Amino acid sequence: MDRPRVEAVFFDWYGTVADIGALVVGCEAAAPGQGQELAARWRARQLELTWLRTIMGSWADFEAVTADALTTALAELKIEVTDPARARLASCFVELPARPEAVAALADLRAAGLRLGVLSNASRGMLALGLDRTGLRSSFDEVLSVDAVRRYKPDPAVYRLAVETVETNPDRIGFVTTNGWDAAGAGAFGLRVAWLPHGADETLPLVGAPGPVVAGWPELVEIFRSI
């Protein structure tokens, strides 16, 4: 069996390995009838804050950003929750389950001889809790958090962490994400990107980045043999 052309593959965590769709369950418990809307608004504000803080050079770790985004989403939707309910909501991001298809793909890539890693916006503490909860800590050789550079994806400094860790060229590193903005950022940096879109109608941001390979989970081993 031929070895893949890349030396290592890094995965985004939230939304890619960790199933962010499960966030709706916790949001629905806190705000019956508004769970889906609250989850979507919370995630949107979370990402918005990461981009704003990076552009403005105003760092706060992902746990703080997530809490601020929740406060904003609740206020925008005029949802009032008790302090205990807010605390339960805040814990949702570290309690997300792993996607079964991600677990299977990790095992296949490991069997193909690849070095595997996480490259995430999450804080070191959030990643440690998430990896322990999903039982995936042993699946990864490297766990990289943006805490190391105090900037968020898609800033090039974040993707550079993978290059510095593996000590190879960007085109020898694969990257897997379900997030189009993340796929665009990693591709622009020079990583070999496999993008797993949520639906057939999803498109990448038009920022001139090299196009990633549009993929499905079972195809990842074959993709990283050929790109």
For 135, other C-beta atoms within 10 Å of its C-beta total 10
Burial of 137 (0-12, 13-18, 19+ CB in 10 A): middle
For 121-183, strand residue ranges (E) read 142-145, 173-177
Are 93 and 66 a contacting pair, CB within 8 Å? yes
Q: Per DSSP, what are the bridge partners of residue 192? A: 174
Could you tell me how many residues make up the chain? 227
Q: Is 2 a catalytic residue?
A: no
Which of these is catalytic: 12, 19, 155, 182?
12
Cα angle, residue 137 at apex, residues 144 and 170 outer, rounded to 5°: 35
Instruction: To the nearest 10°, report the CA torsion of 88, 125, 99, 91.
Output: 0
The 8-class DSSP code of residue 2 comes to P
Are 36 and 24 a contacting pair, CB within 8 Å? yes
For 53-138, strand residue ranges (E) read 115-120
Query: Quick one: tokens of 143?
Result: 């766990």
Measured between alpha carbons, how far is 152 from 158 in angstroms, rounded to an integer? 7
**Catalytic residue annotation:** 12
